[in-house]
Structure 1
Amino acid sequence: MTTDVVLNVAALTDVGLRREINEDAMLAQSPVFLVADGMGGHDAGDKASAAVVEAFAPLAGHPVSMEEIGAALARANERVSAISAQHARGAGSTVAAVALVEHESAPHWLVFNVGDSRVYRHRGSSLEQLTVDHSLGQELVDAGELRPENLADFSQRNVITRAVGAADSIADSWLVPVVDGERLLICSDGLSGEISDESIRATLTMCGRPETATEALVRRAKEAGGRDNISVIVIDVVAGGAMRASDDATDNRMPSESRTDSMLESTTVPVRRRG
């Protein structure tokens, strides 16, 4: 049962060193944990990300289904689209999230994203990126037109190809078994765009408590330039999940079968690692 899962959670957001306002928003109330990164400039991006959080907020505090997550995504899209229509530059938001759901009588993470905010899984001393960026840079890598090792230097790597409130707002989603001892990280690109996956991995490995990890990650992103808003959620599974991961943990990440007509789509895209 998802109600038996015991978590330690910490969340932290920072405006960074270059921006005047924070256009990120977060929700970190079990069973839903998400980071939304708004776009559209002053008085639009912050409203867009807040609208995403508001759409999911009613799910906090009680068990949820994959269908309820899909409905919340649809609500978020409607609300952000309405905000976009009120601004000449438009508005949109990324979202990366995990939700505790029941699947085959066992607790699972429903992992989903729209845009380039990310979900990572840290186990032992290894790090996996569970989500796949919806960005121009990633599309070029997928098409074989850009080498993965050159992505960090690609000037348009942060141009996103999907967003909540945009014409293409489909969320990719996966089911991942909850495992005792694992650590999840949800972050905006203000973190992943400033420091490498190796730096993220080392920080999560060295920091014991989630609060320490969130503070260290934000500090490192600011030391690297802090050019964007930085938002991080760190989740430690203390008890209630599987006692150990399967021998093939990556293949144990399965596409979600839950979807709505416009928002939640299953996928079989493999995990991508970046350093």
Structure 2
Amino acid sequence: MTDATAVNLSAAAATDVGLVRRANEDAALAERPVFVVADGMGGYEAGDRASAAVVAAFREHVAGRTVATLADVRTALATASDAVAAVAATTDRGAGSTVAGIALVDDEGEPAWLVFNVGDSRVYRHHGTVLEQLTVDHSLGQELVDNGALAPEDLATFERRNVITRAIGAPDSTADSWLLPVINGERLLICSDGLTSEVSDEGIRATLTMSGRPESAAAALVQRARQAGGRDNITVVVVDVVSGGLDDQGDATTGLPRPTPTNAPEVDDETTIPVRGRS
């Protein structure tokens, strides 16, 4: 049995406005035991405030502890929702934010990651040379893939891929969550879609494999997205498990995602929210 307090982590964050946008509407937090990326929506006047409000909620309610709890994360999400609503109330176009993150928790005496997301910011797990996307996008494109109307390989070029179906500050801000074991030697990546819209999963995998420390990996991912076009803000957090986790992934059990509601409104992360309700 491994105590979650003994887990040794190394982490770094990097963000860049990109080559097209006027302002950076992303925000990140990398303060044990929580690591978060938020991508704001609502345009120049509100997107940055919305993402900053999400990060502030997690800094207040989760950051600074050695180990988090599910209650901590729930409180942070609720506080973030209220704070983004307050931002939206001051604008004509509304405001919202995606959020994706991981929190180090204790699961019946074993260290575990509580992985969560709202929207299309993502969490990946890299171990050895294998990359796995842990979160599932709340987006129109992902829904079309899930029901067979869009091929997975066409998702990256789908013209409405920026339309998301859940966001903090939108009518549906429900977070999906998973409970996963902490594995020694694994590398977790949390990122906004400014990375994933420019760099393929294979490109991300190769960069994480070849990079050394988290600082180098984070900088390399941002640079790769810029070189590919940098059409959106780019934000990444890289977390390495140095020691204190499980040595054998075969001993681990993986949690299942929470049930997801239907009939969620669509949100466009480049314009206003909500765009329209779904019938």
Please give the TM-score of this superposition, normalised by the length of structure 2. Answer: 0.89
Secondary structure class of the residue paired with 1:10: strand
**How far apart are the structure 1 equivalents of 2:201 and 2:84?**
30
How far has the Cα of 1:253 moved from its partner? Answer: 2.5
Number of the residue aligned with 2:136: 132
Written as runs of structure 1 = structure 2, the 5 A alignment for 1:209-220 is: 209-220=213-224
**Distance in 1 separating the partners of 2:4 and 2:198:** 34
What is the deviation of 1:131?
0.2
Q: Is the 8 A contact 1:255 1:267 kept in 2?
A: no
Q: Which amino acid counterpart does residue 196 of structure 2 have in structure 1?
A: S
Give matches, 1:192-231, under 5 Å: 192-231=196-235
Match of 1:44 among 21, 32, 46: 46
CA distances 1:142-162 after superposition (whole Å, capped 9, x unpaired): 111111122122100121110
For residues 143-182 of structure 1, the aligned pairs below 5 Å read: 143-182=147-186
The one-letter amino acid paired with 1:118 is: R
Report how far residue 231 of structure 1 moved. 0.4
Instruction: State the Cα deviation string for residues 120-177 of structure 1 (Å, max 9, x = none).
Output: 0000000000000000000111111111122122100121110001001000000000
Contact 1:174-1:267 within 8 A present in 2 as well: no
Indicate the larger mover: 144-153 or 220-229.
Answer: 144-153
Give, in whole Å, the separation in 2 of the partners of 1:157 and 1:133. 10
Q: SS in structure 1 opposite 2:51?
A: helix
Calculate the TM-score normalised by the size of structure 1. Answer: 0.91
Is 1:28 matched up with 2:30? Answer: yes
Amino acid at match of 1:61: G
Q: Distance in 2 between matches of 1:39 and 1:61?
A: 27
**Can you list the C-alpha shifts for 1:47-77, whole angstroms capped at 9, x where unaligned?**
0000001111122111321011111101100
State the identity as a percent: 64
**Alignment correspondent of 2:265:** none
In structure 1, stretches of 5+ residues that fail to align are: 257-265, 269-275
Report how far residue 267 of structure 1 moved. 4.0
Contact 2:97–2:167 (8 Å) recurs in 1 = yes
| Cα separation, 2, equivalents of 1:98 and 1:77 | 18
Amino acid in structure 2 at the alignment position of 1:255: L
Distance of 1:150 and 1:37 partners within structure 2: 23
Q: Which of 47, 56, 59 does residue 57 from structure 1 map onto?
A: 59
CA distance in 1, matches of 2:150, 2:254: 26
After TM superposition, the runs of 4+ consecutive aligned structure 1 residues lying more than 6 A away are none
Aligned partners of 2:7 and 2:241 also within 8 Å: yes
Q: Which of 79, 86, 94 is the aligned partner of 1:82?
A: 86
Measured after TM superposition, the shift of residue 86 of structure 1 is 1.5
The residue number in structure 2 matching 1:254 is 255
2:111 corresponds to 1:107: yes
What residue identity is the alignment partner of 1:253?
T
Match of 2:10 in 1: 8
Partner of 1:246, secondary structure, is helix
- Give, in whole Å, the separation in 1 of the partners of 2:11 and 2:22: 28
Q: Is the CA contact 1:190–1:229 (under 8 Å) kept in the aligned structure 2?
A: yes
1:178-235 deviations in Å (ceiling 9; x for gaps) = 0000000000000011010000000000011111111110000000000000000100
Q: 3-state DSSP class of the match of 1:195?
A: coil
Q: Are 1:245 and 2:246 counterparts?
A: no
Q: Contact 2:4–2:109 (CA<8 Å) still a contact in 1?
A: no
Q: Which runs of 5+ in 2 are unaligned?
A: 261-279
The Cα offsets for residues 226-249 of structure 1, whole Å up to 9 and x where unpaired, read as 0000000100000110012117x7
In structure 2, distance between residues paired with 1:151 and 1:192: 11
